[in-house]
């Protein structure tokens, strides 16, 4: 151990640590979860420090040699990130606003930059935790979303592809979990694909607000201790490093008080998770069985399903997806509470928001490729089971309304339900319709395709 000093006095710090006293105090004060900030978030912080040093130099606030030393240290950290990742040791649950983490980054950069570089006076020049931390959340979230969107596109495409594959598989529709008029399995899957695409578009739209940055506001959004033009200069530097179309916020006070852009992205993630939960639950229901459930689709077997029941196979990939989605929904609630908990000039709950946003995107991004490959692409239709349900459904009588009237159709439906005789057979036996008319009506095109017909 070595002795380091800050404004509160002496602190013992591990000899091999690049950080200093303030970071060590945070390690001792917040031994909460053992979790550390997301790597993309850490890298974003380093990029912000680099951009600040260049902006300060450009505006004459920092000596060129000081700026060069800081930029060189940042480049070293970014180029060899895995080597230095263990130096960022502050728990994700920490003091409000993220001051501890900001100082962790400042101290590591100052040590690497060499003698004469101070973590506060130089690395943190023209900055405050209060404007750097929320800026880093926005940028890191944008970067992670750029990684997520291709996987959401792939999921939508996988569902749409299955929709084409199952286009001719007619089956009983279900409303209120009761028999309803027919649909095709392909129509169900195409609807799943469209739902994923819509939720993805909504998430992309919400993320646009993240491009507006409050950097340069320093402590309370007034820009105290910044050179003239700093906020625009630092955004320019960031845009040269990152292709994100970032811009300076119109009102730096609002950007510091309100974390509405983060709230919007959290809500969009929650909405995506809720709709994906609906879809995964549908798939579990459609695959239930194999003998005592619906069993209209067959899921790929990825592992034995029971330690006691031989031969049992469970919808394991769907179950894992549900758990991922439930966490995202819960994280969005945490972001909601954190967003409304700010007071006056600052929302101090940003560390929680940073963790919940980045972790939610990370787990969904990581699981989607496996989920698509090992679950969605391998789904098969049990065509015989789908047809058996379809022909035995009393709701088929609905198609008879325009031909024999609602009352007579209701009688046919009741008799079919009571006797178990398929509706087409009853019509044939009672001589109510010709074989040609029955063949015309009881087809996927007539029963399930009328909404998609083109106007001639």
CATH number, position 269: 1.20.200.10
Contacts of 121 (CB under 8 A, 6+ apart): none
Confidence at residue 455, expressed as pLDDT on a 0 to 100 scale: 65
306, 339, 360, 419: the active-site residue: 306
- The predicted structure's pLDDT at residue 367: 98
Query: How many CA atoms within 13 Å lie on the side-chain side of 308?
Result: 0
C-alpha span between 402 and 414 (Å, rounded) = 18
Q: How far is 135 from 241, CA to CA, in rounded Å?
A: 15
* pTM attached to this predicted model: 0.93
The counts of H helices and E strands in the chain are 18, 8
What is residue 184's DSSP assignment?
E
288 is catalytic: no
| Same domain membership, residue 422 and residue 370 | no
| Per-residue model confidence (pLDDT) at position 391 | 84
- pLDDT at position 43 is 98
Q: What CATH number does residue 409 fall under?
A: 1.10.40.30
What per-residue confidence (pLDDT) applies to 456?
62
Given a contact cutoff of 8 angstroms between Cβ atoms, the answer to whether 215 and 135 are in contact is yes
In this structure, the answer to whether residues 255 and 136 fall within a common structural domain is yes
Whether residue 401 is contained in a domain is answered as yes
pLDDT of residue 262: 97
Task: Find tokens 């951009």 and name the residue.
Answer: 51
- Residue partners of 411: CB distance under 8 A and separation at least 6: none
Q: Which residues contact 139 (CB under 8 A, 6 or more apart)?
A: 44, 47, 48, 210, 213, 238, 242, 244, 246
C-beta of residue 295 within 8 angstroms of C-beta of residue 288: yes
Domain that holds residue 279: 132-382
* CA pair distance 318, 296, nearest whole angstrom: 16
Domain limit, last residue, from 125, 152, 187: 125
- Residue 242 within any structural domain of the chain: yes
Q: Can you give the pLDDT at residue 402? A: 87
Do 432 and 305 sit in the same domain of this protein? no
Cα(137)–Cα(47) distance, rounded to whole angstroms? Answer: 12
Say if 387 falls within a structural domain.
no
Residues 104 and 169 in one domain: no
- Nearest 5°: the CA angle 216, 222, 224 is 75
Beta-bridged to residue 380, according to DSSP, are 298
Two tokens, residue 47? 């990029």
Examine residue 290 and say whether the peptide bond preceding it is cis (omega within 30 degrees of 0): yes
The secondary structure of 272-319, three-state, reads: HHHHHHHHHHHHHHHCCCCCCCCCCEECCCCCCCCCCCCCCCCCHHHH
The domain boundary, picked from 107, 125, 143, lies at 125
Q: Alpha-carbon distance 374 to 140, whole Å?
A: 29
Predicted local confidence at residue 421, as pLDDT: 87
Q: Are residues 199 and 280 in the same domain?
A: yes
Cβ atoms of 266 and 332 closer than 8 Å? yes
Q: How confident is the prediction along the chain (456 residues), in pLDDT tens digits per residue?
A: 999 999 999 999 999 999 999 999 999 999 999 999 999 999 999 999 999 999 999 999 999 999 999 999 999 999 999 999 999 999 999 999 999 999 999 999 999 999 999 999 999 999 999 999 999 999 999 999 999 999 999 999 999 999 999 999 999 999 999 999 899 999 999 999 999 999 999 999 999 999 999 999 999 999 999 999 999 999 999 999 998 999 999 999 999 999 999 999 999 999 999 999 999 999 999 999 999 999 999 999 998 888 888 888 899 999 999 999 999 999 999 999 999 999 999 999 999 999 999 999 999 999 999 999 999 999 999 999 999 898 888 887 888 888 888 998 888 888 888 888 888 888 888 888 888 888 888 887 888 877 777 766
SS3 222: coil
Q: What pLDDT score does 134 carry?
A: 97
Same domain, 364 and 417: no
Q: Which residues contact 34 (CB under 8 A, 6 or more apart)?
A: 91
- Please check whether residues 359 and 409 belong to one and the same domain: no
Does residue 119 share a domain with residue 189? no
217 and 346 part of one domain: yes
């Amino acid at each position: 151990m070595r002795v380091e000093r800050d404004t509160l006095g002496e602190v013992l710090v591990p000899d091999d640590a690049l950080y200093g006293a303030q970071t060590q105090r945070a390690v001792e004060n917040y031994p909460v979860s053992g979790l550390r900030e997301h790597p993309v978030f850490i890298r974003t912080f380093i990029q912000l420090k680099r951009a600040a040093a260049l902006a300060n130099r450009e505006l004459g606030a920092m000596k060129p040699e000081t700026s060069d030393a800081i930029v060189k240290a940042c480049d070293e950290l970014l180029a060899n990130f895995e080597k230095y990742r263990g130096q960022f040791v502050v728990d994700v649950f920490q003091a409000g606003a993220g001051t501890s983490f900001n100082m962790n980054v400042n101290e590591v950069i100052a040590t690497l930059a060499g003698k004469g570089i101070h973590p506060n006076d130089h690395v943190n020049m023209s900055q405050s935790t209060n404007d750097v931390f929320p800026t880093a959340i926005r940028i890191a979230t944008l970067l992670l979303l750029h990684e997520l969107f291709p996987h959401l596109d792939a999921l939508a495409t996988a569902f749409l592809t299955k929709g084409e594959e199952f286009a001719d598989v007619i089956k009983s529709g279900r409303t209120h979990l009761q028999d309803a008029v027919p649909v095709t399995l392909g129509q169900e899957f195409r609807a799943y694909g469209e739902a994923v695409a819509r939720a993805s578009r909504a998430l992309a739209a919400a993320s646009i607000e993240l491009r507006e940055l409050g950097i340069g506001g320093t402590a309370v959004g007034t820009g105290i201790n910044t050179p003239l033009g700093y906020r625009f200069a630092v955004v320019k530097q960031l845009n040269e490093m990152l292709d994100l179309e970032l811009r300076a916020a119109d009102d730096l006070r609002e950007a510091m008080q309100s974390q509405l852009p983060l709230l919007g992205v959290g809500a969009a993630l929650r909405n995506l998770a809720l709709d994906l939960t609906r879809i995964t639950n549908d798939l579990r229901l459609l695959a239930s069985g194999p003998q005592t459930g619906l069993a209209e689709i067959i899921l790929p077997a990825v592992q034995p399903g029971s330690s006691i029941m031989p031969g049992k196979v469970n919808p394991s990939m769907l179950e894992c997806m549900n758990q991922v989605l439930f966490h995202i929904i819960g994280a969005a609630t945490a972001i909601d509470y954190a967003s409304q908990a700010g007071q006056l000039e600052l929302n101090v709950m940003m560390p929680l928001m940073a963790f919940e946003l980045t972790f939610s995107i990370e787990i969904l991004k990581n699981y989607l490729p496996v989920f698509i490959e090992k679950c969605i692409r391998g789904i098969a239709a049990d065509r015989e089971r789908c047809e058996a349900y379809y022909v035995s459904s009393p709701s088929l009588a609905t198609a008879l309304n325009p031909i024999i009237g609602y009352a007579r159709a209701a009688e046919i439906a009741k008799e079919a339900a009571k006797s178990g005789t398929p509706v087409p057979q009853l019509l044939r036996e009672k001589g109510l319709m010709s074989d040609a008319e029955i063949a015309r009506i009881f087809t996927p095109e007539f029963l399930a395709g009328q909404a998609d017909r083109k106007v001639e």
